[in-house]
Structure 1
Amino acid sequence: MTPVIGLTTYREPARWGVWDTSADLLPTTYAAAIQAVGGLPVLLPPVAPYATAAAAVVDRLDGLLISGGADVNPQRYGEDPHSSTTSWRDDRDGWELALLDAADARGLPVLGVCRGMQVMAAHAGGVLDQHVPDLVNHTGHSPGGDAFGTIAVSMVPESRLASLVEPRLSVHCHHHQSVRTHPGFTPAAWSEDGLLEAMEAPGERFCFGVQWHPEMAADAGLFAALVAAARLVGGGGDRGRGGPT
């Protein structure tokens, strides 16, 4: 069976060819990374009503990837906006939080990337630090524009994440926010300047968030592990696809 992995998307104004209209978008690197390790990527644009749609789509998935993107609305974690926190997408926030509800109910494998990790923390009742330069006094985690920062991260030795990737990685990152509190998750990696760069849920379920962008480099371990966990969940492929019950 080829595991079906849902990837959340942007809904943004876009231009291509003769068209200038709203589009559901995600950089190809995400889908390519899933396909490269044997998964079948499926894009998941925001669909209302969120709870009903999320329950229906998660029943047809074997794994879920919450992708990177815009800031999370601070109201989702009970804070006022920092001056640098802008352009949040309430439709995407509501959709991804509903997807996480449905994934938790199913015990579905989940990987959150950058914003995805922050959404996972907010979903769990955690709080974000809204502007990383205020904490570390540099902009290396998000140099600006479309440039990625390159930072060193170290895995927590006893973490499950340490069994999936190298103990120390040079990673691509693009985040001006970070996770301050993360109820129900344990730290899995730190940057040299003390930022939490990965978290994981305890137990056997595959449920990880990383602040970096593994789809941008030769770091297939996380995606391979997600697809492997999804293959176990999917079993014979009958669930949610019209097969026998």
Structure 2
Amino acid sequence: MNGSDAHPQARPVIGVSTYLQQARTGVWDVNACFLPASYVEGVNRGGGTAVLLPPQPDGAAVADRVLDGLDGLVISGGRDVDPAAYGQPRHRLTDEPVGYRDEWDFALVRAALRRRLPLLGICRGAQVLNVALGGTLHQHLPDVLGHSRHQRGNAVFSTSSVQTVPGTRLAALIGEHSDAQCYHHQAIDRLGEGLVVSARDTTEGVIEAVETDPALAADAFVLAVQWHPEERLDDVRLFSGLVEAAKSYATERVS
């Protein structure tokens, strides 16, 4: 039994996947599981309680047990998904695969979809969702677009204007247009099964958000954006939307 089971009106518990890579702090330079605090703050400001989900070996075997204690899930950003997962050789500028982080994120997404757990994907998280459902990615957008505006480098986010698709869950949450903080050199190419596009970049039409097809799962909160909402915490509508869905999920479990 988790907190939401005991107290349906309590703040829902939202799991957030973490990075797994080398990190330096003080005199230490170690392989680490970590996450920028802005993700946690986004969940908190949206009304939820965040717990971190570091990558685990044999993720598929334990993901369901982990999700038993959660009311919602965020798949965070980070390094590129291994292109072997969508049947492509690795582009020379695609990151080296990140050990078992891919396995863990895919396991979390698939387990969440099975149980209709509310899910928000962020940047890499959108790509994980798409690939988990059989989609593919553009491995290096400058090859497609001829510029690197979506990822300027040196940890400098660019601002893109995105237009939502009318009638989508995303449009209901953020309206027709939004400015988005972007830092991605990859993007969704072929859509995964059961997904629809819910936003595109207004300049070149790059897919900037996807969600489950409402005709197939009208009541499911499965939404993923290519941008970084945790970088603009004056606007937590995406986190609030996830938390509201998590509240309903928690209530349904105990009713």
TM range (shorter): over 0.9
Of 193, 201, 212, 1:201 maps to 212
| Cα distance, 1:105 vs structure 2 | 1.6
Gaps of 5+ in 1: 240-245
Aligned residue pair count: 239
Q: Which digits, 9 at most, give the CA deviation of each residue in 1:38-96, with x for residues without a partner?
A: 10000000112211221110111100000000000000000111121122213110000
Aligned residue identity for 1:156: V
* Residue 242 of structure 1: aligned partner: none
Deviates more, 1:7-16 or 1:40-49: 7-16
Q: What is the RMSD of the two structures over their aligned residues, measured on CA atoms?
A: 1.5
Of 37, 41, 62, 2:46 maps to 37
Q: How does 1:1-245 map to 2 (within 5 A)?
A: 1-182=10-191, 183-192=193-202, 193-202=204-213, 203-217=218-232, 218-235=234-251
User: For 1:5 and 1:18, how far apart are their aligned partners in 2?
Assistant: 32
User: For 1:131 and 1:109, how far apart are their aligned partners in 2?
Assistant: 30
Name the SS for the 1:200 alignment partner: strand
Aligned residue identity for 1:197: E
Q: Which digits, 9 at most, give the CA deviation of each residue in 1:93-124, with x for residues without a partner?
A: 00000111211121100010000000000000
> Contact 2:141–2:186 (CA<8 Å) still a contact in 1?
yes
User: For 1:63 and 1:230, how far apart are their aligned partners in 2?
Assistant: 5
Name the SS for the 1:235 alignment partner: helix
Gaps of 5+ in 2: 1-9
User: For 2:21 and 2:98, how far apart are their aligned partners in 1?
Assistant: 10
Deviates more, 1:49-58 or 1:113-122: 49-58
User: For 2:212 and 2:180, how far apart are their aligned partners in 1?
Assistant: 22
User: For 1:228 and 1:47, how far apart are their aligned partners in 2?
Assistant: 28
| Cα distance, 1:29 vs structure 2 | 0.4
> Contact 1:73–1:90 (CA<8 Å) still a contact in 2?
no
The TM-score with structure 2 as length reference comes to 0.90
Name the SS for the 1:14 alignment partner: strand
User: For 1:128 and 1:51, how far apart are their aligned partners in 2?
Assistant: 23
Aligned residue identity for 1:226: L
Q: Percent identity?
A: 43
